[in-house]
Amino acid sequence: MSLAIHASGLVKRFAGMDHPALDHVDLDMTEGEMLAITGPSGSGKSTALYAMAGLITLDAGQVTLLGEAPKTRAAWADVRARRIGLVFQEDWLLPTLTACQNVELPMIGVETSPTKRKERAEAALASVGMAGHAGRAPAGLSGGERQRVALARALANRPDLILADEPTGELDRANSDRVIGLLKDLNRAGTSIVIVTHDPHVAEACSREVRITDGRLEAVR
Ligand SMILES: Nc1ncnc2c1ncn2[C@@H]1O[C@H](COP(=O)(O)OP(=O)(O)OP(=O)(O)O)[C@@H](O)[C@H]1O
Ligand SMILES: [Mg+2]
């Protein structure tokens, strides 16, 4: 099996911290895995996810994603656009666009037909139970609804790898179960998935769990 993620020796230091936010993190993830990253607040989980998505400059280490090792910011942006679905800890929806337009946004440049973009955005919104809210602006949605729109945005390009930072953090149990069910279905269909979570239920639903403590990563199971 080929690797979805090969990360070796990742080090990230931020000024004012007495230890690195990432302290020589190594992680190999096989394609088709569904991996949970757990750990205390401030331990480096989001930083690890950003590193795997090429969104931060590392002090040391290398990341290969789906066999690609981008060398420039533009090359990283290209890999993200084509192959990765990103869910940030905050939703980062654009306030002047509707839910549907937000979901369509990352498809621009990947899917050229506006009709297909809209169809795919509507299908992604339906898959997270947001079909009735496609025309609503983010300000008119609850936190959990915005989080589901952000997840739909990550799914719309049919990514090979989903990197999700607390995708159920704002959701009640029923919606959390629905989102995890959806991610499991995608995983069964071949999508590799990384989920950062504080929720033991969500971690248990994953095929493997690693934990980050003070920037160091260790296997849990
Ligand atoms: N841009 C930054 N500048 C300075 N310090 C930062 C920056 N980003 C993160 N940190 C620090 O790095 C450490 C790891 O942060 P990170 O966001 O990865 O934690 P986390 O495990 O995702 O926490 P949480 O569960 O609260 O989201 C924290 O101590 C944080 O304060
Ligand atoms: Mg975080």
Structure confidence by residue, pLDDT tens digits, 54-85? 999 999 999 999 999 999 999 999 999 999 99
Q: Which domains does the chain have, with CATH numbers?
A: 3-219 (3.40.50.300)
Ligand 1 contact via 43 beta carbon (within 6 Å): yes
Structure confidence by residue, pLDDT tens digits, 145-179? 999 999 999 999 899 999 999 999 988 999 899 89
- Specify the pLDDT at position 100: 97
pLDDT at 1 over 80: no
Q: Where are the alpha helices (DSSP H) in the chain?
A: 45-52, 73-83, 99-104, 114-127, 143-155, 173-188, 200-205
Structure confidence by residue, pLDDT tens digits, 97-141? 999 999 999 999 888 899 999 999 999 999 999 999 999 999 999
- Taking the C-alpha atoms of residue 54 and residue 45, their distance in angstroms, rounded to an integer, is 14
**CA angle (28 as vertex; 23, 32 as ends), nearest 5:** 140
Tokens of 20: 């690195």
Q: Where are the alpha helices (DSSP H) in 54-189?
A: 73-83, 99-104, 114-127, 143-155, 173-188
- Specify the pLDDT at position 111: 85
Ligand 1 contact via 21 beta carbon (within 6 Å): yes
Ligand 1 contact via 44 beta carbon (within 6 Å): yes
Point out the ligand 1 atom lying closest to the alpha carbon of residue 39.
21
Residue of minimum CA distance from atom 28 in ligand 1: 42
- Taking the C-alpha atoms of residue 167 and residue 75, their distance in angstroms, rounded to an integer, is 26
